[in-house]
């Protein structure tokens, strides 16, 4: 994908709360090839991030959207518009010490004939470097802490925004910080003033959590029932790259209308109203295809989830004394891995 990215303009601003005011650049960044490659890698990684949310502005008077509208019509105002955005974000960082300082990198780029504005918050990382000091006594080499290191090209950034300049839809990655005494998102609620949306990763996590609760409450914590749910989800993804919650309920609970209702309501209780979840290639690993069993004395067994409902492969036997026996069947070969 990085070959399709054309970086049109870029600039860096320093949002360091310890300084008190943002340090704003007056010039666009004339990118060296190595730095251009570094930024492209972060753009690609951002588009593929499983924590992304797709959100939309819900207020026409939003300051970020106003600046985007101006940029769409006047690209030559990129520097001033990026300064405006940096000042808005820095003002909020300044008021909330839990939010980390960062370099804000604004990039106007094109992918497949669509213009995007990237607003990437490169939160500072601590790292260590050597420092060489020359004195009359000789050369002194020490290790010192570097408090404003940026993430490597192989690392993900914690927070960022990509705005489609055609329809003003937003791809957002954010973290919760302590604001007014409670952990909350600030990019979506305070900066973008956007509609609150769950990421696809959060949706899948909710389905997994709700499924465990239903099985625990209503199915005597039956491992085979959990396996059936995971198999139905995995089959959905394999067939059409989606998870259809109603279809999963049908496959697992059959004609039991009451259990299907309970299953759907448990998922909704955790805040997921969508009935169909899109599953990207990067999200497939969140759909559990193997079941990890851990006994009370630390024995671990990992088996394909589908095997738990097949007595020709594995059998769980409840003993009279309350213990459980696990029998693995039809094993042709065992390897030490």
Q: Among 64-73, 93-102, 297-306, which is the least confidently predicted range?
A: 297-306
Strand partners, 325: 317
Is residue 265's pLDDT more than 70? yes
pLDDT, tens only, 138-171: 998 888 887 787 888 778 899 999 999 999 999 9
Q: pLDDT tens digit string along 269-307?
A: 988 888 888 887 767 666 656 667 778 888 888 877 667
Residues 228, 289: Cα–Cα separation, whole Å: 10
What is the per-residue pLDDT across 181-217, written as a single tens digit (0 to 9) for each?
899 999 998 999 887 778 888 888 898 899 989 988 8
- What whole-number distance in Å separates Cα of residue 119 and Cα of residue 13? 11
> Given a cut of 60, is residue 310 above it in pLDDT?
yes
Task: Note the pLDDT of residue 286.
Answer: 63
Residue 288: name the closest of 241, 230, 222 by CA: 230
SS3 159: strand
Among 32-46, 106-120, 164-178, 193-207, the least confident range: 193-207
| pLDDT, average across residues 313-317 | 78
Dist. CA 214–CA 224, nearest whole Å = 13
Higher-scoring residue by pLDDT: 156, 106? 106
Q: What is the pLDDT of residue 19?
A: 82
Q: How far apart are CA 275 and CA 252, in angstroms?
A: 16
Alpha carbon separation from 79 to 33, 75, 85, 102, 337 (Å, rounded): 21, 9, 10, 18, 56
- Please return the burial class of 144, using the count of CB atoms within 10 Å of its CB with bins 0-12, 13-18 and 19+: exposed
Are 236 and 214 in contact by the 8 Å Cβ rule? The answer is no
pLDDT mean across residues, the chain: 87
Q: Are strands 159-164 and 114-123 parallel, antiparallel or unpaired?
A: antiparallel
Q: Of the ranges 31-35, 106-110, 145-149, 250-254, which one carries the lowest mean pLDDT score?
A: 145-149
The percent of residues above 90 in pLDDT, for the chain, comes to 43
Identify the band that residue 331 occupies on the pLDDT scale cut at 50, 70 and 90.
confident
Please tell me the distance from the alpha carbon of residue 55 to that of residue 199, in angstroms, as a whole number.
10
pLDDT the model gives residue 237: 82
Does 120 have pLDDT greater than 90?
yes
């006994």: which residue's tokens?
A: 295
The pair of three-digit structure tokens given for residue 25, joined into one six-digit string: 């650049």
Q: State residue 288's pLDDT score.
A: 57
Mean pLDDT of the 215-222 span: 85
Model confidence band, residue 1 (pLDDT cutoffs 50, 70, 90) = low
pTM for this structure?
A: 0.75
Q: Which of 38, 43, 114, 112 lies closest to 72, judged by CA?
A: 114
Task: Report how far residue 233's alpha carbon sits from residue 289's, in angstroms, rounded to the nearest whole number.
Answer: 9
In angstroms, the Cα distances linking 67 to 58, 70, 251 are 15, 5, 49
């Amino acid at each position: 994908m990085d070959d399709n990215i054309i970086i049109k303009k870029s600039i860096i601003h320093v949002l360091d709360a310890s300084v008190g005011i943002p340090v704003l650049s007056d010039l666009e960044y004339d990118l060296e090839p190595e730095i251009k490659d570094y930024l492209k890698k972060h753009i690609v990684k951002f588009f593929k991030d499983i924590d992304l949310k797709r959100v939309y502005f819900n207020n026409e008077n939003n300051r970020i959207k106003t600046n985007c509208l101006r940029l769409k019509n006047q690209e030559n105002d990129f520097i001033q518009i990026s300064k405006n955005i940096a000042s808005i974000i820095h003002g909020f960082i300044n008021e909330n010490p839990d939010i980390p300082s960062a370099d804000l990198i604004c990039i106007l780029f094109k992918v497949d004939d669509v213009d995007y504005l990237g607003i990437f918050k490169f939160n500072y990382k601590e790292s260590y470097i050597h420092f060489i000091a020359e004195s009359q006594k000789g050369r002194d080499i020490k290790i010192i802490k570097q408090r404003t290191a940026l993430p490597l090209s192989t690392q993900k950034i914690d927070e960022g925004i990509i705005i489609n300049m055609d329809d003003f839809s937003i791809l957002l990655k954010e973290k919760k910080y302590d604001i007014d005494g409670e952990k909350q998102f600030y990019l979506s609620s305070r900066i973008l003033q956007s509609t609150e949306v769950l990421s696809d990763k959060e949706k899948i996590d909710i389905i997994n959590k709700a499924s465990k609760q239903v099985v625990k409450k209503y199915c005597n914590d039956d491992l085979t029932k959990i396996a059936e749910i995971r198999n139905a989800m995995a089959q959905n993804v394999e067939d059409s790259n989606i998870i259809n919650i109603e279809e999963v309920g049908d496959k697992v609970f059959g004609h039991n209308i009451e259990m299907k209702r309970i299953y759907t309501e448990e998922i909704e209780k955790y805040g997921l109203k969508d009935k169909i979840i899109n599953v990207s290639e990067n999200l497939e690993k969140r759909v559990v295809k193997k079941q990890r069993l851990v006994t009370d004395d630390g024995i671990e067994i990992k088996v394909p989830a589908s095997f738990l409902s097949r007595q020709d492969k594995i059998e769980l036997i409840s003993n009279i004394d309350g213990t459980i026996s696990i029998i693995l069947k039809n094993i042709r070969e065992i390897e030490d891995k």
